[in-house]
Amino acid sequence: MQLLDGKKVSEEIKNEIAAEVAQMKQRGEKVPHLAAVLVGSNGASLTYVGSKVKTCEKIGFDSTLVSLPEETTEEELLAKINELNTNDAIDGFIVQLPLPKHIDEQKVLNAVDPDKDVDGFHPENFGRMALELESFIPATPFGILQLLERNKIETKGKNVVVIGRSNIVGKPMSLLMSRKAYPGNATVTLTHSATQNIEEITREADIVITALGVPEFLKAEMIKEGAVIVDVGITRVADETNPKGYVIKGDVAFNEVAEKASWITPVPGGVGPMTIAMLMKNTLIARERRAKKNN
């Protein structure tokens, strides 16, 4: 068994981006600028946004954090998004999810300029990705592609099973793994909560990508010998023996599955670090596309 080490690969990617940004600075060019919009004070969201801002500093990006109170109205948020859409200094921005209940998430995501949508959540980017046209790929699926590619894992003709059908991971992952490219060219089965006899399907898989959010759902008896396992799940599970009062678990029963798998992502330290690295990569791409347009 070998680890698909997201920490290591994400550091490589961030170092490559930092080197490009250093060259931009030397040439006197504008460096990429990422903005993040945070509504309310959800603990996990604060942590995610904080790590994005820190990463921007580390690799030489400019960053802006737009913090709005929990009671911000949908209209106020849409007005702020319009400001960011029309601000030439900002190359890309994200709206941190989840949003407060009184705000329509889809309406907000639809309001983001597709050219600045570095999360890849706008329907235009999703549609372009499905048609294999130039688009922004959502950061987590983009990170998984990089993990497979940089570890030279063969995907052509392979049987890939994706568990979970979210618009953020499951659906885009199923499209990307079936595209005519590497990583891709696979035969993909998309499974979810209504799938019957899921273990019969996963046992046939050469590669399993699970994004279900159910701790230790995937057991050793559900995979075949030598399968590649990518675990996107990350759930806090109460644990009184831990000083924090909880432990982080993935969708995979790691210790037992690792004995059968050829490659496996750890949780934490697998897909998580890749997501932030690819958000930075998308911001760099947005900056380069904007520079081309303006020339």
Residue 36 structure tokens:
């993040």
Please, which residues bridge with residue 93 across strands?
Answer: 35, 117
Instruction: Give me the sign of the Cα torsion angle 44, 50, 55, 56.
Output: positive
Q: Secondary structure of 181-215 in the HEC alphabet?
A: CCCCCCEEEEECCCCCCHHHHHCCCCEEEECCCCC
Is residue 54 within 8 A of residue 83, CB to CB? The reply is no
Give the pairing of strands 207-210 and 159-163: parallel
Q: Is 164 annotated as a binding residue?
A: yes
Is residue 4 within 8 A of residue 267, CB to CB? The reply is no
Q: Is 226 annotated as a binding residue?
A: no
| Secondary structure of residue 231 in the 3-state scheme | strand
Q: Is 201 annotated as a binding residue?
A: no
Q: Is 166 annotated as a binding residue?
A: yes
Catalytic residues: 52, 96, 119
| Annotation: binding site for NADP(+) | 164-166, 234
| Annotation: binding site | 164-166, 234
